[in-house]
Structure 1
């Protein structure tokens, strides 16, 4: 694991951490067994293969 050679100031650490922003996953429609679901784009193949349980749509 990479380890910094010098101590980073508190200001620089917080400024760097503040640049990370979480984003909502991009949802795409898929059809499984005749029903449409909205799932994250990177999990489409897993849902189609049946590796993950389909999300409950009765909200």
Structure 2
């Protein structure tokens, strides 16, 4: 089994961890009712519809 020859520095470990930290754009789909951008499997804040039926009445 491979054993490190020297102690790895704090900077090297932090760089390795930070390589996977990135911001991701949320996935958005069009609402079938009002065509506003909505996160998938979420209630539409514009019209209150979810899966082709009104869940929350909007003013």
TM-score by length of 1: 0.45
Q: Which has the higher helix share?
A: 1
Q: Which has the higher contact order (CA 8 A, sep 6+)?
A: 1
TM-score by length of 2: 0.45
